[in-house]
Homo-oligomer: A and B are copies of this chain.
């Protein structure tokens, strides 16, 4: 049986996890390629995924001008057009997930968004994604940018707020663990109603006594105090008196 050859260029978390996700498939031959040297590049691969930092995609693409197979990057915010210097079969293979090294993920639940310069490439990338997950969608570069922007708020910035909570608790000898039941319930709620309808807390109920108390508690950390106010006012523009 002839195996399909897949080259994954990158050394980061996305490249590593994509390789893991496909490794169980017996019809595929996976090679991870060092993006700095390209020394392991499989020049006769059927598909090549570029999983490098957004800034580095154009550089890698230009080094792959002579590659004859299908070529796709995996970035949320990079337009497909950066690959138009390659052969005509280019596209995007965007897994909407946060990947960490040494952290197992259920790949079958990850949505993958496909964009392609032609139908041949589109069908090949959809088939590839289908090996990993049933959640395969098409999204052009604008839609993918919107998905990525939303995921920055929903994942990266949310994680940062948990980091802030953790640091606030550390001053009292506590840490984020004490908030796990609260955090799990917060997540559970948005599976039952929209986040807008799930909103609770001092800002939404215009509890100015508590808000003033919190703002005062943060007086020695002006940057955090400012963030507290901005988020409170974004939830409810009238929640801080005389603002």
Contacts and interface: CB of A to CB of B under 8 A. Distances in A.
Given A176-B190, A209-B55, A213-B145, A156 B235 contact: yes
A38 interface: no
A200 B234 contact: no
Main secondary structure of the interface of A (DSSP, over half): helix
Interface string A86-110: 0000000000111110010110011
Interface in A92-138: 96-100, 103, 105-106, 109-111
Interface stretch (A3-11, A40-48, A60-68, A160-168): A160-168
Interface in A58-78: 76-78
A172 interface: yes
A210 B155 contact: no
A154 B162 contact: yes
Interface residues of A, number: 91
Number of copies: 2
Nearest to A143: B172
Interface string A132-155: 000000000001011111111111
Contacts of A103: 189, 192
Interface of A: 13, 53-55, 76-78, 96-100, 103, 105-106, 109-111, 143, 145-169, 171-172, 174-176, 178-187, 189-192, 194-196, 198-205, 207-210, 213-214, 217-218, 223-224, 226-228, 230-231, 234-235
Contact of A200 (B98, B166, B180, B185): B98
A210 B77 contact: yes
Given A146-B217, A159-B190, A194-B163, A185 B53 contact: no
Nearest to A98: B200
8 contacts: A77-B214, A96-B181, A98-B182, A150-B179, A152-B202, A155-B182, A187-B187, A230-B230
Given A168-B150, A210-B54, A189 B156 contact: no
A242 to B, nearest CB: 17
Given A145-B217, A148-B214, A152-B202, 4 more contacts: A53-B207, A76-B210, A157-B235, A160-B234
A221 B162 CA distance: 25
A151 B77 contact: no
